[in-house]
Amino acid sequence: MTTASPSVVVFGSLHYDIMVYGPARPRKGETVTGSSWHPKCGGKGGNQALSAARAGVSSHMIGAVADDDFGRALIDNLGLGNVDNRFVKTVAGVGSGMSVAIFDGQGDYGAVIVSGSNLALGQSDVDAAKEVFAGGGILVLQNEVPDLANVAAARAMKEAGGQVVLNAAPARPLSDDLAQLVDVVVVNAIEAEQLAQGSVVDSLAGALDAATRLAERFAVVVVTAGGEGVACATKNGEAFLIAAVKVELVSTHGAGDEFTGVLAAELARGREIRAAVDSANRAAAVLVSTRRTR
């Protein structure tokens, strides 16, 4: 679809991340001596909103933080990244969302998230931000906020004539109400295997198999397969593969969010799905090969 002013609305999570670096991720009961750590403003929603803004479209964030240092940092970071943060509310009685990510020497990581204030999102937040849904555009959702909240946001965007992109991460069962409102699903290899039971995603062929299975339920499915590349399948029978851009890996953290944010920005501009996926794939390659300290 094409709009006079390309717009991406991100409804979802904001987390204050603590990034820890070591030679390996600890096994059960093991203590590993790390080399460094630093904080980073994240959450899949916040990352995707910032990625869309960097890609040059109008980006709006609807989310929730607490009245604490983490929450204030998250709101400020959105503003610094040219994301409209007017509809990020502050809630009482709970902490802001946060996570701890532990990286190994190869740049891969595991993480634990604490949702906190993100679980406070719901219909009232959609209603408060109705102006950013007007005229349509692209709505981006993730699975780090309640399903009912995602349904409310998706309905608002569909009623406005826009499209809904769901980054179904972390993987969880999707309600029929939400599934019926989604236009594009984006998942990584692990999430694809969990949602498309019976698929093994250890190659591009496996990613395409999972995408094809999921396309029986969703109009467009994109499966990112890390260093292998990306597979896409649509309900109308279109399917294609895009190989990974070969880069020197620094860190995989945030690659999926960069991919999703840029994909949404390209769709907001009216790009066809193949061109949008290609742009997103290239942007993610740049991110994983770039050393970041914030």
Catalytic positions: 257
**CA pair distance 244, 101, nearest whole angstrom:** 24
Number of other residues whose CB lies within 10 A of the CB of residue 130:
11
What is the SS3 assignment for 246? coil
Asked if 171 and 178 count as a contact pair (C-beta separation under 8 A), the reply is no
| Amino acid code (one letter) for 78 | L
Query: Quick one: CA torsion of 51, 265, 54, 117, rounded to 10 degrees?
Result: -40
Element at 153 (helix H, strand E) = helix 147-159
Asked if 216 and 222 count as a contact pair (C-beta separation under 8 A), the reply is no
DSSP string, 99-126: EEEEE-TTS-EEEEEE-GGGGG--HHHH
Rg (Cα) of the chain, in Å, rounded?
18
Report DSSP state, residue 184: E
Structure tokens at 46: 């916040």
Contacts of 138 (CB under 8 A, 6+ apart): 7, 8, 9, 162, 163, 164, 165, 264, 265, 267, 268
